[in-house]
């Protein structure tokens, strides 16, 4: 009887345990299902974000202001008046600044209302002066702050194994290394993401146009070496980087609209590994800058390596920024600035003026005259950069061709080998119309003589040509076939910069607003290369015709336009027949490398030898022609509609 009772009790216990484990199993399955549903919801959100970014893009690829000249304000300047005066100093030197980078938000989680109020006042004043403003942020919560302990208590942080703080090594000048401890916000935790958005709100309400994430790149470079863990377990650095950059970009666009951008380093240029890893996604990387130490020829060579790595990884608009102390005198400074001006995005080093005055006072004025020329060249090329960037962006992320083309895919910059063996040099094609070889070796020892020369052997790209020296190169005129090799002896102010004969480059004309300007170099020498055409333009008869040069360009409003021309030869002279889809925009055509014949057919053009008079005539919609030894510019209302404009004749024997 007792044994029966014991057996029944045992069976009851076993049954209870069985039921308990069944309940536990069902609860676990339910919780897992909830987790799956939450993950599915998060995935749906990311898919929606993906669709919005790729399939519902506005007509423009990105805001065109990013191609303006950037100025990095030193972190040591805090006051509103101090920053405004720093910016105005460059304007007084006729260096046209477009974007001001202020390191206000680096300690994002240590802000107070007073700091935010003053920064908002600064942003408003800079906007009134015509500048766009970018500031720096990160998601690193520093050890010892109230925010750190609050986040750690609520499991909002990624920390080292065992709950220890992450160490982040950061250097702003290439010399002094600061070590910070803290944790990263864990974006797998919805509460942490919400907390991050709340902190970003105090930055966005100031009206900033963009966020620069260099500090975050430093965290990723140093903090993930030993692994980090959050409430959901180990987090991979690449996944975290993408999540961080996407979250920041999407939330910024939600708050401040299409005009908002984020920026970060393209590759880890300070990494000890031989092949730098990329930091973030390329589809939201509209502007990136490579940092390089020191501000010298060795730093310049390192920057070129990182530039090549960044371009090969699909980053579209990449610039370079030297850091640290200037070494190598005025020559190193000028060679850096020449490279910076030819990149699609350009940023002036924060200590440029101070170091230039200290290191070469006798050459300071000459140096800044050259800087003025280089920045003006970059300003003139802004429509070209924006067109290249837009075409490349839409090709890569939105409008992939549905049929194969023999033409090369669009690009903004592309590395080109221009020498062999010990004479190997790095060259870059900027689109298919410009070719540039940076000088990375000093010609002089004392760094003071701007007229000291050095000799180079340059091999031109084989797939395209011929080439002529660009006007801003200060080289004598000459035609170089594609694939040929030529010797050049240049001084410090000269550049190995060339323009393809026959190519069309959209230019900016600051003196004449709302006007499209196109520069054509030696049109009669064009070999009419096969060009990339977007899928929806491939059926257009005029762009597929033989013996036609054409350009696809984007206006700052984001509208896509086309312009093309053909050459009409008559004995030893030629005319140019232009056509395009400029939608009523005033259009100026400038021809270089071809001399007008004496019996020029004016076609109703009013001649002028003054650029100011020419500008006045264009503004009043009067057909005009501006002619100098370097170029001949034409304007007519017929060029602003879909009609043929005929100009000439030009001599072919010049």
User: Which pLDDT score is estimated for 271?
Assistant: 59
Q: In which band, very low, low, confident or very high, does the pLDDT at 253 lie, cut at 50, 70 and 90?
A: very high
Instruction: Let me know the angle formed at the C-alpha of 43 by 42 and 47, rounded to the nearest 5 degrees.
Output: 120
Q: In which band, very low, low, confident or very high, does the pLDDT at 403 lie, cut at 50, 70 and 90?
A: very low
Q: What is the pTM of this model?
A: 0.86
User: Which pLDDT score is estimated for 621?
Assistant: 87
Is pLDDT of 51 > 50? no
Nearest to 91 by CA among 136, 133, 131: 131
Q: In which band, very low, low, confident or very high, does the pLDDT at 34 lie, cut at 50, 70 and 90?
A: low
Is pLDDT of 467 > 90? yes
Pairing assessment for the beta strands 586-592 and 631-635 based on DSSP bridges? antiparallel
State how far the Cα of 135 lies from the Cα of 205, in Å rounded to an integer: 13
Higher pLDDT: 184 or 449? It is 184
Q: In which band, very low, low, confident or very high, does the pLDDT at 323 lie, cut at 50, 70 and 90?
A: confident
When mean pLDDT is compared across 268-282, 285-299, 546-560, the lowest value belongs to: 268-282
Helix (H) or strand (E) holding 243: helix 237-256
Residue 245 exposure: Cα atoms within 13 Å on the Cβ side:
29
User: Which pLDDT score is estimated for 47?
Assistant: 43
Is pLDDT of 500 > 80? yes
Q: In which band, very low, low, confident or very high, does the pLDDT at 217 lie, cut at 50, 70 and 90?
A: low
> Quick one: 125 exposed, middle or buried, by C-beta within 10 A (0-12, 13-18, 19+)?
middle
Where are the alpha helices (H) located in 210-296, listed in sequence order?
A: 214-223, 237-256
Distance from first CA to last CA of the chain, Å, rounded?
A: 124
With contact defined as beta carbons under 8 Å apart, do 157 and 151 qualify? yes
Is pLDDT of 580 > 70? yes
When mean pLDDT is compared across 178-187, 539-548, 564-573, 600-609, the lowest value belongs to: 539-548
Higher pLDDT: 55 or 637? It is 637
State how far the Cα of 645 lies from the Cα of 588, in Å rounded to an integer: 11
Is pLDDT of 126 > 80? yes
Local structure of 620: helix, strand or coil: coil
Total number of residues shown for the chain:
654
Structure tokens at 79: 């006051």
Mean pLDDT for all residues in the chain = 81
User: Which pLDDT score is estimated for 504?
Assistant: 94
Is pLDDT of 128 > 90? yes
User: Which pLDDT score is estimated for 422?
Assistant: 44
In this prediction, residues 49-53 reach a mean pLDDT of: 46
Is pLDDT of 413 > 90? yes
User: Which pLDDT score is estimated for 448?
Assistant: 63
User: Which pLDDT score is estimated for 630?
Assistant: 80
Phi, psi dihedral angles at 390 (to 5 degrees): -65, -45
Q: In which band, very low, low, confident or very high, does the pLDDT at 29 lie, cut at 50, 70 and 90?
A: low
Is pLDDT of 510 > 90? no
User: Which pLDDT score is estimated for 389?
Assistant: 93
Is pLDDT of 196 > 80? yes
* Highest mean predicted confidence (pLDDT) among 283-287, 493-497, 609-613: 493-497
When mean pLDDT is compared across 11-20, 327-336, 631-640, the lowest value belongs to: 11-20
User: Which pLDDT score is estimated for 57?
Assistant: 46
User: Which pLDDT score is estimated for 240?
Assistant: 80
Q: Can you count the helices (H) and strands (E) in the chain?
A: 14, 32
Distances (CA, A) of 356 to 88, 137, 415: 18, 30, 30
User: Which pLDDT score is estimated for 280?
Assistant: 80
- Alpha carbon 95 to chain centroid, angstroms: 19
Structure tokens at 22: 């069944």
Q: In which band, very low, low, confident or very high, does the pLDDT at 430 lie, cut at 50, 70 and 90?
A: very high
With contact defined as beta carbons under 8 Å apart, do 447 and 460 qualify? no
State how far the Cα of 260 lies from the Cα of 123, in Å rounded to an integer: 14
- Sketch out the chain's domains with CATH numbers: 413-500 (2.60.40), 504-651 (2.60.40)
User: Which pLDDT score is estimated for 347?
Assistant: 93
Q: Give Cβ neighbours of residue 171 (< 8 Å, ≥ 6 apart).
A: 177, 178, 293
User: Which pLDDT score is estimated for 475?
Assistant: 94
User: Which pLDDT score is estimated for 30?
Assistant: 64
In this prediction, residues 308-336 reach a mean pLDDT of: 90
State how far the Cα of 97 lies from the Cα of 130, in Å rounded to an integer: 9
Nearest to 216 by CA among 132, 145, 158, 176: 158
* Axis-axis angle for helices 297-312, 329-342 (nearest 10): 20
User: Which pLDDT score is estimated for 136?
Assistant: 83
Q: In which band, very low, low, confident or very high, does the pLDDT at 113 lie, cut at 50, 70 and 90?
A: low
Structure tokens at 67: 């191609």
In this prediction, residues 448-463 reach a mean pLDDT of: 83
When mean pLDDT is compared across 58-62, 64-68, 200-204, the lowest value belongs to: 58-62
Phi, psi dihedral angles at 128 (to 5 degrees): -60, -35
């Amino acid at each position: 009887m007792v044994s029966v009772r014991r057996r029944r009790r045992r069976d009851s216990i076993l049954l209870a345990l069985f039921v308990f484990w069944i309940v536990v199993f069902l609860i676990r399955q339910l919780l897992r299902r909830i987790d799956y549903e939450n993950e599915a919801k998060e995935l749906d959100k990311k898919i929606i974000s993906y669709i919005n970014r790729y399939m519902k893009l506005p007509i423009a690829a990105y805001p065109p202001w990013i191609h303006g000249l950037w100025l990095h304000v030193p972190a040591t300047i805090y006051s509103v008046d101090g920053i405004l005066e720093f910016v105005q100093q460059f304007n007084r030197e006729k260096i046209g600044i477009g974007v001001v980078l202020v390191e206000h938000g680096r300690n994002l989680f240590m802000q107070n209302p007073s700091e935010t109020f003053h920064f908002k006042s600064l942003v408003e004043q800079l906007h009134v002066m015509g500048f766009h403003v970018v500031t720096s942020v990160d998601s690193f919560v520093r050890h010892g702050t109230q925010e750190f302990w609050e986040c750690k208590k609520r499991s909002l942080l990624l920390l080292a194994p065992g709950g220890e703080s992450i160490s982040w090594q950061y250097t702003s000048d290439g010399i002094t290394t600061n070590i910070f401890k803290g944790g990263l916000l864990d974006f797998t935790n919805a509460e942490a993401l919400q907390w991050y958005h709340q902190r970003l709100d105090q930055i966005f309400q100031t009206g900033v146009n963009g966020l620069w994430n260099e500090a975050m790149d430093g965290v990723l470079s140093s903090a993930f070496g030993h692994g980090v863990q959050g409430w959901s377990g180990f987090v991979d650095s690449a996944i975290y980087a993408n999540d961080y950059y996407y979250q920041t970009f999407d939330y910024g666009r939600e708050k401040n609209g299409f005009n908002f951008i984020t920026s970060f380093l393209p590759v880890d240029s300070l990494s000890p590994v031989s092949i730098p890893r990329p930091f973030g996604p390329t589809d939201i990387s509209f502007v990136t800058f490579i940092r390089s130490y020191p501000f010298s020829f060795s730093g310049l060579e390192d920057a070129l390596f990182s530039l090549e790595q960044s371009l090969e990884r699909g980053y579209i608009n990449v610039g370079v920024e030297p850091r640290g102390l200037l070494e190598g005198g005025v020559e190193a400074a000028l060679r850096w600035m020449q490279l910076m001006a030819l990149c699609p995005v350009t940023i002036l080093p924060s200590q440029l003026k101070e170091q230039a005055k200290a290191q070469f006072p006798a050459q300071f004025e000459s140096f800044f005259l050259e800087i003025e020329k280089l920045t003006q060249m970059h300003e003139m090329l802004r429509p070209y950069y924006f067109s290249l960037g837009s075409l490349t962006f839409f090709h890569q992320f939105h409008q992939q061709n549905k049929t194969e083309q023999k033409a090369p895919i669009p690009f903004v910059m592309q590395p080109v080998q221009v020498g062999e063996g010990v004479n190997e040099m790095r060259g870059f094609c900027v689109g298919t119309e410009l070719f540039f070889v940076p000088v990375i070796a000093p010609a002089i020892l004392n760094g003071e003589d701007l007229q000291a020369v050095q000799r180079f052997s340059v091999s031109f790209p084989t797939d395209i040509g011929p080439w002529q020296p660009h006007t801003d190169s200060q080289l004598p005129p000459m035609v170089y076939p594609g694939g040929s090799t030529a010797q050049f002896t240049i001084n410090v102010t000269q550049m190995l910069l060339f323009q393809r004969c026959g190519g069309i480059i959209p230019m900016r004309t600051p003196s004449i607003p709302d006007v499209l300007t196109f520069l054509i170099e030696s049109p009669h020498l064009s070999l009419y290369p096969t060009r990339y055409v977007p899928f929806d333009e491939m059926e257009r008869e005029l762009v597929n015709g033989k013996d036609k040069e054409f350009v696809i360009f984007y206006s700052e409003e984001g509208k896509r336009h086309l312009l093309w021309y053909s050459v009409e030869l008559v004995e030893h002279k030629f005319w140019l027949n232009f056509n395009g889809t400029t939608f009523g925009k005033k259009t100026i055509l400038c021809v270089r490398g071809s001399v007008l014949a004496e019996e020029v057919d004016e076609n109703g053009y009013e001649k002028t030898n003054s650029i100011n008079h020419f500008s006045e005539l264009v503004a009043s919609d009067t057909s005009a022609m501006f002619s100098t030894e370097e170029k001949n510019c034409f304007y007519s209302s017929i060029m602003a509609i879909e009609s043929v404009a005929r100009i000439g004749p030009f001599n072919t024997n010049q």
